[in-house]
Amino acid sequence: MPPELPEVESVKRSLEEKLPSGTRWVEVILNRKDLRVPFPKDLRKKLVNSEVLGLERRAKYLIFKRKEKDLLSHLGMSGTWRELKAGETLKAHDHLIFGFDNGLRLAYNDPRRFGLVDWGGVDSPWLRELGPEPLSAAFNPAYLLQQMKGRKAAVKVLLMNAHLVVGIGNIYASEILFLAGVKPARPGSKITPTEAALIVKHTKAVLKKAIKAKGSTLKDYRMVNGDSGKFQNSFKVYSRGGEKCFSCGAAIRSEVLGQRSTYWCSRCQK
């Protein structure tokens, strides 16, 4: 599964601990020319001797703040930032290496190469059309109800639409809708004000809990130190097709919805 908001937020927080403001790049090694898009041609020239002023996250993007151009990183489907230990041998698919003046070395590894590293901050074309952050005040019941109005698409598909709200992927959309008691395939236009309030409430609660657990590791995702996330141990429905619902005992059902595997309880969710 691709990293979602809790995974990217966990990576950001771990990088913040290792890259205090003022840390300088001293090494940039490119082991290929591109990922999803080509690396900027001036990446090495512009980064070496420049300072990291901080880390931000917007949607599923990491932003390395700088005095000049900020640097964006998206993990794609399988990307990870990993701290290189002294004497550690590079792995297959370590496409980009950063070295810093505090001794930290980072490797960006991405077997499927759907990630990206490019110039740009919050006003970047990559970020310009995105919806509000789900943990912000802008994502509220009134906003969600307005966005659902007249929509025939399934509510789960709409929650995963980054133009509506960012960072909610397949895992968390399934978990949120279970807790809200809403069937994933229900058209957005059929969501009531009470249900919109429940969806917003559980969106914020689930994402906060997942961030505290350092995200979910099902396959590729790892934190900067190589550890796995733990939220997968708390799944109520996701990946539990055929198993009993923890709340009512009915079998968890699954189907492909919007080209993604979807899980729900037919008794708890209406």
Residue pLDDT, tens place only, 193-240 = 999 999 999 999 999 999 999 999 877 777 788 888 899 999 999 999
Compute the residue count for the chain.
270
Asked if 152 and 241 sit in the same domain, the reply is yes
Q: Is residue 130 domain-resident?
A: no
**Residue at 134 is within a domain:** no
132: in domain: no
The residue to which tokens 């559980």 are assigned: 202
Of all residues in the chain, what percent carry a pLDDT higher than 90? Answer: 91
> Do residue 98 and residue 195 come from a single domain?
no
For residue 159, being part of any structural domain is answered with yes
Residue 35 structural domain: 5-119
Same domain, residue pair 209 and 113: no
Identify the three-state secondary structure at position 212: helix
pLDDT surpassing 70 at residue 1: no
Domain identity same for 145 and 261:
yes
Write the CA distances from 85 to 88, 97, 104, 174, 203, integer angstroms.
5, 13, 9, 37, 37
Residue 213 CA to its chain's centroid (Å): 14
Q: What is the pLDDT of residue 22?
A: 98
Tell me, what's the pLDDT at 172? 97
Inside any domain, residue 82: yes
Is 226 contained in some domain? yes
82 and 185 co-located in one domain: no
Each residue's pLDDT tens digit, 40-84: 999 999 999 999 999 999 999 999 999 999 999 999 999 999 999
Tell me: do 175 and 99 sit in the same domain: no
Instruction: Compute the distance between CA of residue 240 and CA of residue 233 in angstroms, rounded to an integer.
Output: 11
Output the pTM of the full model.
0.94
What is the pLDDT, as a whole number, of residue 224? 87
152 and 111 fall within a common domain? no
Among residues 55, 87, 119, the one where a domain terminates is 119
Check which CATH number belongs to the domain holding 210 and give it. Answer: 1.10.8.50
Task: Kindly state whether residues 195 and 96 are assigned to the same domain.
Answer: no
Ramachandran angles phi, psi of 183, nearest 5°: -70, 135
- Is residue 195 assigned to a domain? yes
Are 152 and 251 contained in the same domain? yes
Name the domain boundary from 119, 153, 173. Answer: 119
Same-domain check for residues 171 and 246: yes
d(CA 126, CA 105): 27
Query: pLDDT tens-digit profile of 145-196?
Result: 999 999 999 999 999 999 999 999 999 999 999 999 999 999 999 999 999 9
For the annotated catalytic residues, the residue numbers are 3-4, 60, 260
Whole-number pLDDT of residue 102: 98
Q: How many domains does the chain have?
A: 2
Same domain, 20 and 60: yes
Cα 265 from Cα 270, distance rounded (Å): 9
- Print burial letters for 200-222: b (CB count within 10 Å at least 16), e (below 16): bebbbebbeebbebbbbbeebbb
Q: Which of 119, 152, 186 is the last residue of a domain?
A: 119
Per-residue pLDDT of 94-151, as tens digits, reads: 999 999 999 999 999 999 999 999 999 888 999 999 999 999 999 999 999 999 999 9
Q: Domain with 95 in it: what CATH number?
A: 3.20.190.10
| 252 plus 145 within the same structural domain | yes
